[in-house]
Amino acid sequence: MSNSSPIARANAATGDGQEPAATNRELTEAQRRAVAELMRVSPVADELGRRFAAAGHELHLVGGSVRDALLGRLGDDLDFATSAHPEETQRLLEGWAEAIWTTGIEFGTIGAARRGLRLEITTFRAEAYDRVSRNPIVRYGTNLADDLKRRDFTVNAMAVSVPDHRFTDPHGGLADLAAHTLRTPGTPQESFADDPLRMLRAARFASQLRFTVAPEVVAAMTAMAPDLARITAERIRDEFTKLLTGADPVAALRLLVDTGLAEQFLPELSGLRLEIDEHAQHKDVYEHTLTVVRNAINLEEDGPDFVLRMAALLHDVGKPATKSVGLDGRVSFHHHEVVGARMARQRMKALRYSKDVTTAVTELVTLHLRFYGYGRGEWTDSAVRRYVADAGDLLPRLHKLTRSDCTTRNRRKAAALAADYDALEERIERLRAAEDLANVRPDLDGNAIMELLGLPPGPLVGQAWRHLKELRLERGPLDHDEAVAELHRWAAERGVTPPG
């Protein structure tokens, strides 16, 4: 949490540096500063509030907007709750908003853009759930109090009215925010029964905000984890993606495993806990995996990289299925990268991840062991070219994943592995300077192959192209005459007679 936030300043005011619970006076000051922050960053809110007030409607900034203002991290997305129904909201926005969208109108939400801000205005809700189907039955409420009561966590159940700037916090969200604690406005059992996705959302906020989940909430998550089966794969995917790209996903991943939530949508993670890691006998594969995730995060350069983090999380999921114990008692996991890639693909497909993201993650899982053995001096230039060609655009991520996978506590071994990978990267750069490693292709293209062999388009042309590519990987660039001679040699072996 930023020390510049109103909450941090309120906690710091007690002077002992341990962020104790803030006093009422300090929390009141935090409220005042939060309102000032909201209004300073978003004068648009007051303009909109006056439009709604003139029409006889309430309008309140709510949820994440108020929470983030208190944390000193308010962004460009603002959430509002109103007494107006969606059709009336849309009418009030017309002529004022620069753009309006109605994709969420069935849930009572109208979206708008104004001065670089994205606004979502939702009619007060008094949602009802049948606790069987996967979606809520949306019912409009009549007051702010009922709307806040149905929200997921107390830190998201605060509001600031506009344009009069009245702060509303009926469930102690401000105190929980100061304590970095996640609680529910009502009982967690009632909240999670209404929407089981909130259990996963608790873990997501633990990752994004580095908050601790209250013990009674953890207990309810553990008891009610099977209820997550009511939620669609797409909603679970979206929450999990936010969780994994948060500030502290490792803490959240532990929470998922400890509560049994991971078993509901990512059982491969829980399955790692009892598997012994052959690279580091002091920890099991589960602990090794969490360390690899943390290592990968430390190597990111341009913000959270979901593909890298997901590959780090899944890189060893094939170990349980491939575990064997030799006569000497040594544990091995032969071909776990191949099995793991297949498992990763199946899991990501079940969670409805896009084909491109799924392919990238599974390719990294497949390739993550390729480097081991390089230090024995067995790699030829051909092997280096294949490493680069097989990784393709994923090479920078593969570098990070491979380095992250070194979790040994043996400093000499760790230093040796790091030095070996440094040497490999330097060798790649030397070959890159001499050859076009980023685009390894045959020295003759398909048109040239057809012309030289007198072939029409078809399978033989593809076979000849692949043969020349293999030569390119094995020997490096060939000059034109060498490539033609190799093509003719290949054709003669297959009874293909060139024209002329």
Q: How far is CA 168 from CA 147, 171, 174, 178, in A?
A: 12, 9, 10, 16
Residue 102 parent element (H or E): none
Burial class (CB in 10 A: 0-12, 13-18, 19+), 107: middle
| CA gap 27, 11 in Å, rounded | 9
| Degrees to nearest 5, angle at CA 190 with 189 and 195 | 95
Choose among 482, 385, 490, 370: nearest CA to 441: 385
Q: How many Å separate Cα 159 from the centre of its chain?
A: 29
Inter-residue contact 396 to 438 (CB < 8 Å): no
Region 6-179: CATH code? 3.30.460.10
Q: What is the pLDDT of residue 47?
A: 93
| CA gap 152, 109 in Å, rounded | 17
Q: How far is CA 113 from CA 40, 53, 119, 154, 478, in A?
A: 18, 20, 6, 28, 57
The verdict on whether omega for the bond into residue 163 sits within 30 degrees of 0, i.e. cis, is: yes
The β-bridge relationship of strands 99-101 and 109-114 is: antiparallel
Neighbouring C-beta atoms of residue 396, cutoff 10 Å: 13
| CA gap 242, 390 in Å, rounded | 29
Burial class (CB in 10 A: 0-12, 13-18, 19+), 115: exposed
Tokens 């040239």, residue located = 448
Inter-residue contact 204 to 242 (CB < 8 Å): yes
Residue type, 282: H
Residue 121 parent element (H or E): strand 117-123
Neighbouring C-beta atoms of residue 172, cutoff 10 Å: 18
Q: What is the pLDDT of residue 3?
A: 44
Tokens 């790699």, residue located = 379
Which tokens sit at 477?
């660039």
Tokens 């070219």, residue located = 385
Inter-residue contact 143 to 124 (CB < 8 Å): yes
| CA gap 173, 71 in Å, rounded | 12
| CA gap 100, 55 in Å, rounded | 19
Task: Walk along the chain (500 residues) and give the pLDDT tens digit of each residue.
Answer: 344 565 555 554 433 344 445 567 776 776 676 666 666 656 899 999 999 999 999 999 999 999 998 887 888 899 999 999 999 999 999 999 999 999 999 889 999 999 999 999 999 987 666 666 656 667 888 999 999 999 999 999 999 999 988 899 999 999 999 899 999 999 999 999 989 999 999 999 999 999 999 999 999 999 999 999 999 999 999 999 999 999 999 999 999 999 999 999 999 999 998 655 444 444 588 999 999 999 999 999 999 999 999 999 999 999 988 887 777 767 777 789 899 999 999 999 999 999 999 999 999 999 998 887 665 667 788 788 888 888 889 999 999 999 999 887 778 888 888 888 888 888 888 877 766 555 556 667 778 888 778 888 888 888 888 777 777 777 777 777 777 787 788 888 887 777 76
Inter-residue contact 148 to 172 (CB < 8 Å): no
Residue 450 parent element (H or E): helix 446-453
Radius of gyration of the chain (CA): 29
Beta bridge partners of 118: 77, 113
Inter-residue contact 250 to 290 (CB < 8 Å): yes
| CA gap 353, 345 in Å, rounded | 10
Ranges of each domain in the chain: 6-179, 302-438, 441-493
Q: What is the pLDDT of residue 231?
A: 93
| Degrees to nearest 5, angle at CA 183 with 178 and 187 | 150
Show contacts of 230-237: CB within 8 Å, 24+ apart.
Answer: 230/131, 230/132, 230/133, 230/134, 230/196, 231/134, 231/196, 231/197, 231/200, 232/134, 233/265, 233/350, 233/351, 233/352, 234/352, 235/134, 235/197, 236/197, 236/200, 236/265, 236/351, 237/351, 237/352, 237/353
> pTM, whole model, 2 decimals?
0.79
Tell me the residue length of the chain: 500
Beta bridge partners of 122: 81, 109
Inter-residue contact 182 to 206 (CB < 8 Å): yes
